[in-house]
Amino acid sequence: MRILGIDCGSQITGFGVIESDGVSHALIEAGAVRTDSRQALPARLLHIGEQLRAVIARHHPDCAAVEDTFTSVNARSALKLSQVRGAVLFVLAEAGLEVGEYSPATVKGSVVGHGRAEKEQVAFMVRSLLRLDRELRPLDASDAVAVAVCHAVHQPRRAA
């Protein structure tokens, strides 16, 4: 199964595409969509959407996964993040992809073994699980791959 994982952010949105059977995972591509914080939010959302459409066109994922919005101390940041997440969900729905949504604690627990892991711990475990020669950068890309791995391990096993 080919899975697109996305870690939403208004300045950096990470993405990761993996191939997985639910046990073994192989990296296809990982990266990040960067936006210019001086631009208005609608222009940034458009850029994120266009870049994710290109990733979908390149890799034809079977499904996608997105991390749920966590409650933030800063309401303005949480609102922006929710708007990014809405734009991402729109692009995924437009592509006809089924989408899994997971809490940050569930993603971290699936990859690291506990839900309070730091970003560096997630990056280390992603490197280990996918047998990569180095950690993915930026950390948003590593987080997106972790979301994809989380989705892979929470899906019923497919018959070979």
pLDDT digits (tens, 9 = 90+) for 121-150: 999 999 999 999 999 999 999 999 999 999
Please say if the pLDDT value at position 157 is more than 80.
no
Choose, from 7, 29, 50, 118, the residue flagged as catalytic: 7
Please say if the pLDDT value at position 159 is more than 50.
no
| Spatial contact of 148 and 16, defined as CB atoms under 8 Å apart | yes
* Model pTM above 0.75: yes
pLDDT computed for residue 15 by the predictor: 98
Does 143 qualify as catalytic in the annotation?
Answer: no
Choose, from 19, 50, 67, 101, the residue flagged as catalytic: 67
Of the two residues 87 and 75, the one the predictor is more confident about is: 87
Does 133 qualify as catalytic in the annotation?
Answer: no
How confident is the prediction for the chain on average, in pLDDT? 93
Domain ranges of the chain: 2-154
* Residue 118 CB partners (closer than 8 Å, separation 6+): none
What single-letter amino acid sits at 21?
D
Return the ∠ at Cα 16 (arms to 108 and 115), rounded to 5°.
5
φ and ψ at residue 62, rounded to 5 degrees: -80, -30
| Spatial contact of 102 and 115, defined as CB atoms under 8 Å apart | no
Does 140 qualify as catalytic in the annotation?
Answer: yes
Q: Does domain 2-154 bear CATH number 3.30.420.10?
A: yes
